Structure 1
Amino acid sequence: MMQRAGKARPYTKALDGGWGWMIVFHFFLVNMFVMGMVKTFAIFFVVFQEEFESTSEQTGWIGSIMSSLRFSAGPLVAITCDIIGEKTASILGVFLVTGGYLISSWATNIPFLCVTMGLLPGLGSAFLYQAAAVVTIKYFEKRLALSTAIARSGMGLTFLIAPFTKVLIDLYDWTGITEAVSQIISGWVADQNWIKKYHYHKSYLILCGITNLLAPLATTFPLLMTYTIFFAIFAGGYLAMILPVLVDLSGNSRVHRFLGLAGFFAGMAVLSGPPIAGWLYDHTRTYTGSFYFSGICFLLSSVSLFFVPLAERWKNRA
């Protein structure tokens, strides 16, 4: 039977090297340039507020939609990849991201930007990220955690696309390099299989939560830099573990489906984050509540991983 046009050739085994490292490099660039725009939306936040005289809550919806669709469009991306293949899906993602940012230059209000800088780049990012992630899984098995960690470390180098002021460059220099190194080290450690990968993921989430709960105590510049570095280390660790843990828990054969579903539910949570943070600031005039809210969310997100052994025992009995 002939394959659908544009559909990727099936792989019979993971290669763990060779051309697979070019796939990792592609995934790295996706994280660095595309996901970096999602991560550095804060740079544009104040500019949009001043330009369109909007509230923090209203402006927050732009980044919220962008970040949410990066996850919640997962099921749509999975279906599209099954029909047209990962390569064509990636090309579609490029057009959506590029077109969205180009059209954003003509924006006249916040709702306009919600579509051009929120909807289109968010959907495009989902296509680019999920297609790259699945192809990486097809090329790696024994070195999966390390390869995905190297690819995800691209997010830690987003300071390269944020050279707007010297202060921002210096700040992203610290967090970019720290997060990148953290992800690579975390991936290598996880591949040693000393303990199951979800234990690392759970620990990093808890540490991220504790760090954010303590963040309001950072009232001086040295303390603020300490918070920034530690959060970058722990965030880099849990980001590096997402894909390997998902593969361990779901299996390679069904990873497309589970990656899409996981992304969808994550997107639903991400959608409400920026508006809630903006609402908290608008009503309290301080970011303390936002840090507490973020810390609690990190801690709650780790709870389900404590039930993995119970779920595995139930599966074995079944």
Structure 2
Amino acid sequence: MEPRELLEALVAVVATLSEAAATVSGPYGDVLLAMSPWSLHKALGTFIGHLQDTLGHPGVTSLGRALAALRANQGATWAHVTAAASAWRDSVATFEDNWARLAREATELRDTCRDTATREATTAATANTLAGDLKDKAARWGTSLDSLVATAWQLPLALDKEEVASVVAAHDARMEAAANEEEAATKAMEEAVVAANKAQAATRREQRAEIALGPLERLVAACDKATTFPRELQRQLGDIEAALKGTNEASPDVPEALVAMVANAERLWEASARLATRHLVGALGDIRRLLSSRPGGHAVAEWCQRATEDIPKLLQGQ
């Protein structure tokens, strides 16, 4: 990837994160994540914090200054240059680890959101089945109740004393059974309503999770692409350290090729730091506001547009 594309990949992560936040913004857009104490709001807030820490790396290195001091015979030695290169490589290694962590977090968030949608779909289906079964039971009990009541009131017209007592007892038994059937039918209908409401709530939660899943898929892809940036810096630093091993430490002469390699790597490193401080950190603040539906969230696209337009100047050290 070209330097411009490497920096654009960082902007893309912020832009995609904004899309994910927009899908769940506001107090009623949150998603409770399956098998996790977190909600999507809280998880995205943590991700924003980690991204801000990663983007805000120190841009200035001491390697270029050490080479310049060596060339100007201002007390620097090749040992100073080597130490500066090693320290920078440690910083870039931390930067790479942080981006790898962000990529893992995005993947875990996407997977958890997908699991949540699946869980809620299962909950809705189970509750709908239960509601249907309860309604069927209530209907059967209702039919039975009608039959019992009709039978209970079918009394013979001519009965002797003993027969009357027997019929009355049978009538009372049928009426008691009818009352029990009515109570069971009423309870079944009440439980069916509860189950139906549970199904509707689970369906709404499933839909929110499904809506968030698309932007989270794109966030995973954006983070994976952004990890190319620290890997490219590590590659360039590897070339610089290989060139340092081939230098004559007894000579103060600094190869022009080495100077150019360091300048290119430092320009990319410092451009990413300025990109963050000028544009991306501000955009992340607006994404936080977007999550809570506070004013300012719609400015994220403008931040990212200005960041993309500024990249050529940043690569020129402006």
Give the alignment's TM-score, normalised by structure 2. 0.29
Report 1 or 2 for greater relative contact order, CA contacts < 8 Å, sequence distance ≥ 6. 2
Please identify the structure whose Cα radius of gyration is greater.
2
